[in-house]
Amino acid sequence: MILEPLFLEPVFKERIWGGKALKDNFGYSINSNITGECWAISGHPHGQSVVKNGVYKGWTIEKLWKERRGLFGNPTGEVFPLLVKILDANKDLSVQVHPDDAYAMYNENGELGKTECWYIIDCKEDAKIVYGHRAQTKAELMKMIEEKRWESLLNYVPIKPGDFYFVPSGTVHALCEGTLVLEVQQSSDTTYRVYDYEREDENGALRELHLNKAIDVINVPFKQVDNKHEQQRHEDSIKTTFVESEYFTVHKWSVKESYSHTKEEPFLLCSVIGGEGKLLIEEEIFPIKKGDHFILPDYIENITLKGELEIIVSHL
């Protein structure tokens, strides 16, 4: 058996707030100038990644999960649990919140909840995000929303490239204009909009809000999350661990010349966000570059990376 990663074809989504950064920054072949999302590693029915190499060429992640669960170490669960995206916030995203598993299961036809995290790939000089709120009780939250006191309610946080934010379900949040982000999340497409700047959709109607459900799930008061991270140096390369949560763990591998890794996890999701080089698996060599996304399945234990590379790596 040839030991090979599963290279994936991303799915692109147009959004009212999207732009050209996915095309300009990553070189993806996209015609649209309002592409907001690259669903890079996805088994969600709203956007399926497809394997583009090897014996499983043409298979979706959903099909692999159902029929070749051993590739992932035979974990439990009805659906592939994680989703990796790259988001181009050319304009402000809506202020939103996501439900947890229990609420989504009951109210969204069995969908998973959505805890997520952001790695800031790039952003304009004065970029910011909405991260949390200032209301101390549900009653105060409802009153501030009703009175549209957004500047008083929302926490605006300045950001810079290389920052990382963990966004648990129930957290009010929004990416703001001029931000390019890699997002790792539970495999869910459930979003409750709280505020959308009175924007209209393509039909001229105000975009739908979901205030009742949003107020149900928003955590009050907001609890600040510790977004500090841990670094391990391996000769000329650095492994940074950003978060270890019940849903996912996320690292960054910063490779200067060479980095070797013995995989202890059943599978790894890998997104190359910078540079180019080679992935070596025993005698096999696979060229990789910025914009590539691949899965290292259970049967691969040892890898070596050569070149200058930045890779975001996630796993259960």
Q: pLDDT value at position 2?
A: 74
Q: What is the pTM of this model?
A: 0.95
Where the chain has pLDDT below 70, the residues are: 1
- Residue 140, domain member (yes or no): yes
Q: Report pLDDT for 163.
A: 96
**For position 72, what pLDDT does the model report?**
97
Could you tell me if 238 and 151 lie in one domain?
Answer: no
Q: How far is C-alpha 3 from the chain's CA centre?
A: 27
Give the count of domains, the chain: 2
C-alpha closest to that of 307 among 293, 294, 291, 288: 288
In terms of residues, how long is the chain?
Answer: 316
List, in sequence order, the alpha helices (H) in 44-137.
61-67, 101-107
pLDDT of amino acid 1: 64
Residue 222 belongs to some domain of the structure: no
For 33, half-sphere exposure in the C-beta direction (CA atoms, 13 angstrom radius) is: 0
Q: Same structural domain for residues 38 and 144?
A: yes
Question: Phi and psi (nearest 5°) for 254?
Answer: -105, 105
Same domain, residue pair 37 and 115: yes
Structure tokens at 125: 């000089």
Give yes or no: residues 68 and 198 share one domain.
Answer: yes
**One domain, residues 144 and 240:** no
180 in a domain, yes or no?
yes
**What pLDDT is stored for residue 242 in this prediction?**
96
Which two tokens mark 269? 């999701």
Residue 153 belongs to domain with CATH number: 2.60.120.10
What range does the domain containing 271 cover? 230-315
**Is 193 known to be catalytic?**
yes
Same domain, 212 and 237: no
Buried b / exposed e over 173-191, threshold 16 CB at 10 Å, is bbbbbbbbbbbbbbbbbbe
Q: What is the mean pLDDT of the chain?
A: 95
Task: Report whether 98 contacts 115 (CB < 8 A).
Answer: yes
The residue annotated as part of the active site, out of 69, 193, 207, 233, is 193
| Residue pLDDT, tens place only, 202-249 | 788 888 899 999 999 999 999 988 887 888 887 789 999 999 999 999
Model pLDDT, residue 224: 87
DSSP-derived secondary structure for 255-291: ESSEEEEE--SS-EEEEEEEEEEEEEETTEEEEEETT
